[in-house]
Amino acid sequence: MSRRRTPDPVVARAGGLTVLRDPLRPTGRLLLQDDMDASYIDLADAQHLEFDYLRWARIVLQSAGARRVLHVGGAACALARALVASDPDGRHEVVEVDPAVLDIAREHLGLRRMPGLRVRVGDGRERVAARADGSVDAIVLDAFVGARVPAHLVTVEALADAARVAPLTVVNIVDTRTLDATWSIAAALQMAYPSVAALGARGLRGGNVVLIGSADPLPWDRITARAAADRSPARLVAPADVARQTLGRIPRHDPDGEPSAGAAPDVPPRAT
């Protein structure tokens, strides 16, 4: 009697990057970067978002009517591809600092040229600085150096520049139960936007937290309802509650008034 062999889950390896086959979803592919989850793509369904925080971010962007979006940090461009698939007339630009990530995404994760999606290699802050005032509807910051959010993307000065370019900025953070990093970055975001809210699971007790900075009123009731109905329900922390949490927090500034390229703040390892 022959024993059925289990297929090798490894699709490809390149340096610290590994693509794995999802045993529960035949067309699912997980990208690991130095053994951490970096991206997930369903080759047969671009609108499928496996990571909870990406679904929460999509809820915010769609509820706000954001159709021109600059994504800083893209990995396999899962969020941008999902949004283009649902709205072909939208315009999404992804800036990814690591060309090796885009290479493996093109070869094994179905990343292709498509209308509405532009992908480029570069530093996200530099790309934001090159943008004209109000040239996009939203900016999504989902970038990491190793396991940490690049400090130069979440300083007071960096987020002020983001507010110049877009009326909405969404930031993905991974935090501990104390949420020290979350509230510190939220304090910087409050100096750029009049309204700052947060989405997170488990009563905002750590893990992925999505910060939302907005220049315009957002449909918080709609966002709350959609996030609560997600298969991993998220709780909305309203702007007034975020303001109370950030009292006394000292936001990070650029050192000596200059952008800190590539440095990282004290943010705990990513756990998507």
Apex 200 CA angle, 196 and 204, nearest 5: 95
59-79 confidence digits (pLDDT tens): 999 999 999 999 999 899 999
Residue type, 250: I
Residue 46 domain-assigned?
no
Residue 212 domain-assigned?
yes
Q: Which tokens sit at 56?
A: 């929460």
Q: Give me the sheet containing 17-21, strands edge to edge.
A: 10-14, 17-21, 28-33, 36-42
Q: Which tokens sit at 238?
A: 């309203």
CATH number, residue 237: 3.40.50.150
Crossing angle of helices 52-64 and 220-228, in 10° steps, is: 150
111-139 confidence digits (pLDDT tens): 999 999 999 999 999 999 999 999 999 99
Query: Which of 19-23, 232-236, 244-248, 259-263 has the lowest average pLDDT?
Result: 259-263
32-56 confidence digits (pLDDT tens): 998 889 999 999 999 999 999 999 9
Q: Where are the beta strands (DSSP E) in 122-192?
A: 138-141, 168-175
Burial label for 124, CB within 10 Å (0-12, 13-18, 19+), is buried
pTM of the model: 0.91
- What pairs with residue 21 in β-bridges? 29
**How many Cβ atoms are within 10 Å of 6's Cβ, its own excluded?**
7
94: nearest Cα among 60, 136, 41? 136
Map residue 213 onto helix, strand or coil: strand
Mean pLDDT, the chain, as a whole number?
90
Q: What is the mean pLDDT of residues 184-194?
A: 97
Q: What is the number of structural domains in the chain?
A: 1
Q: Containing H/E element for 228?
A: helix 220-228
Residue 13 domain-assigned?
no
Residue 262 domain-assigned?
no
- Predicted pLDDT at 206: 81
Confidence bin at 203 (pLDDT 50/70/90): confident
Query: Which of 3-7, 100-104, 133-137, 223-227 has the lowest average pLDDT?
Result: 3-7
Res. 270: pLDDT tops 70: no
Q: What is the mean pLDDT of residues 256-271?
A: 43
- Contact, 207 vs 200, CB < 8 A? yes
Q: For 42, which DSSP code?
A: E
- Predicted pLDDT at 258: 55
Q: Which tokens sit at 63?
A: 């509820």
Residue 16 domain-assigned?
no
Residue 205 domain-assigned?
yes
Residue 180 domain-assigned?
yes
Res. 145: pLDDT tops 80: no
**First-to-last CA distance in the chain?**
41
Which residue range forms the structural domain that includes residue 218?
51-257
Residue 45 domain-assigned?
no
- Predicted pLDDT at 71: 98
- Predicted pLDDT at 251: 95
Q: Which tokens sit at 241?
A: 């509650």
SS3 of the chain: helix, strand, coil, percent, to 5 = 30, 25, 45
